[in-house]
Amino acid sequence: MADAGGEAATAKDTGRFIADLDDRTPAGIAAAVSRQIRSGALTPGSRLPTVREVARELKVSPATVNQAWRALASAGAIVARGRAGTFVGAPVATRPVTAVGRYQRLHPPSYSAFRIDLSRGTPDPDLLPDLGAALRDLTRDGASDLAADYLGEAVLPELAAKVRADWPFRAERIAVLDGALDAVDRLLTAHIRLGDAVAVEDPCFPPFLDLLAGLGARPVPVRMDESGLLPAELARAVTDHGATALILQPRGQNPTGVSITARRIRELSDILLDTSTLVIEDDHSAGIAAAPLRSLGSRLPRRTVHIRSYSKSHGADLRLAVAGGPADLLDPVVERRMLGAGWTSRLLQRVLLSMLDDAAAIHAVTTARAEYRRRSAELRRALTRRGITVARGDGINLWLPVADENAAMISLAAAGIKAAPGGPFIVGDPPPTDHLRITISPLADADLDWLATELAAATTAVPTYRRIRRT
């Protein structure tokens, strides 16, 4: 009798899945179970039906259910306990998060003895404004009393007024955070739940994918062309996958250097107009990007949070980025932060404000922007002379097509050159051509011919073993 009761309970659980299921693909099954967990219909410790039982009830193959179960297990949503069965896991807040490690793959913590490092994605320190001058101004102005204030405003009013003056849309709330990635992390944590689909650029900045993996969210790749995200791909992400959020870099996209066009902004906003999709824009190349800023917030101001980073233009160690958007999207971030870090140092905010107003600092940023553009153009021209065409990009990165990623990396390493592998940036199916990300900020004119020759050679390097492409 006990066995019969157990079978009845299993059938009831399986029926509960069917009631919340329209999409019987592995992704659809995983999303349905995730929704049941989030809603509380499936509580931690609940035993799930077997794979075969679910497959039989849904009229799909056991392999399909197995794929869904593996995805849920990798997010920590369910736990397999051998013959005892499969159970709903602990709540997200109590589960340890294991990093996927794309960012670690991109920047392994090892000593670099290369002649030149083109892998870092960071600005040229010699082109940054003089931080010392800003600190001296701070001391002269007597602003050091800010250090004693625990209860002051989290954002300096003068800084808020400064950034509002050229914000791409009317921002109801302004917040200062510890860099763009910190801002993206906090927004995702506040608004994304286990199993949510999030549309991302493909190729994509690897830390975004690590953050989504830590939340148990599903990245949905949206491919790009020279004008930005492809409208048809975004429509698919929203319609077929129910993307609850979109993360994009509006200019100088990392790694491709693509900047979104005005026409593409109109096309993408038309797709999102009747949805509730949250838009997170990371303008990480603000200041050094030559392209004008275009934002989906200009047409979708109630659902867009725009993030402006000052790391590449004014210095990474300032750890400063400004986020602006609707109060209902930013207030949960600000309120949760008050229980931890509280605010970003107002001393550092004052340093940034000083540089934003200082003629010498403004000139330094303008000079850096022109110099990065020149270095990029010179390298592309040198490669063109060697028969290699690289798409024009903005900011400090180029997306270099190669025949084989690993062979190209080995070829460059033998010449004393370090580049970033393209693999960690890829979200969906592997493209027909591999790529490397090349950061142009370390380029010196004296090295240009040698470097272009080695890069051109690397693009055609082939492995000495039989290659098995990723699937």
In a domain, 467, yes or no: no
- CA dihedral angle for residue 336, residue 339, residue 340, residue 346, rounded to 10 degrees: 90
* Segment among 1-15, 271-285, 322-336, 363-377 with least mean pLDDT: 1-15
Q: Are residues 299 and 236 in the same domain?
A: yes
Band of pLDDT at residue 242, cut at 50, 70 and 90: very high
- Rounded CA separation 345/181 (Å): 17
In a domain, 4, yes or no: no
Q: Are residues 443 and 306 in the same domain?
A: no
Distances (CA, A) of 127 to 289, 371, 375, 396, 442: 14, 9, 13, 12, 11
Q: Are residues 67 and 163 in the same domain?
A: no
Band of pLDDT at residue 10, cut at 50, 70 and 90: very low
The b/e string for 389-415 (b: 16+ C-beta within 10 A; e otherwise) is: ebeebbbbbbbbbbebbebbbebbeeb
In a domain, 277, yes or no: yes
In a domain, 76, yes or no: yes
The CATH number given to whatever domain includes residue 158 is: 3.40.640.10
Give the count of beta carbons closer than 10 Å to the beta carbon of residue 45. 10
In a domain, 206, yes or no: yes
The whole-number pLDDT of residue 154 equals: 86
Tell whether the model's pLDDT for residue 184 goes beyond 60.
yes
Range of the domain at 38: 11-88
Band of pLDDT at residue 298, cut at 50, 70 and 90: very high
Q: Are residues 337 and 379 in the same domain?
A: no
Which comes out higher in pLDDT, residue 447 or 145?
447
The CATH number given to whatever domain includes residue 45 is: 1.10.10.10
Tokens linked to 97: 């998060």
Q: Tell the residue number behind the tokens 């062309």, with chain if given.
A: 225
The CATH number given to whatever domain includes residue 371 is: 3.90.1150.10
Band of pLDDT at residue 279, cut at 50, 70 and 90: very high
Tokens linked to 92: 């997200």
Q: Are residues 117 and 151 in the same domain?
A: no
Q: Are residues 111 and 158 in the same domain?
A: no
Q: Tell the residue number behind the tokens 């932060």, with chain if given.
A: 337
Q: Are residues 197 and 222 in the same domain?
A: yes
Alpha carbon 337 to chain centroid, angstroms = 21
- Rounded CA separation 280/32 (Å): 25
pLDDT in tens, 88-101: 886 644 444 444 46
- Rounded CA separation 363/370 (Å): 11
pLDDT in tens, 113-170: 678 999 999 999 999 999 888 888 777 765 555 555 666 688 999 999 999 999 999 9
The count of structural domains within the chain is 3
Neighbour order of strands in the sheet with 197-202? 173-177, 321-325, 304-309, 278-283, 245-248, 197-202, 218-225, 228-229
* Segment among 37-46, 106-115, 134-143, 401-410 with least mean pLDDT: 106-115
Q: Are residues 107 and 75 in the same domain?
A: no
pTM: 0.78
Q: Are residues 48 and 185 in the same domain?
A: no
In a domain, 274, yes or no: yes
Which comes out higher in pLDDT, residue 103 or 250?
250
Q: Are residues 119 and 159 in the same domain?
A: no
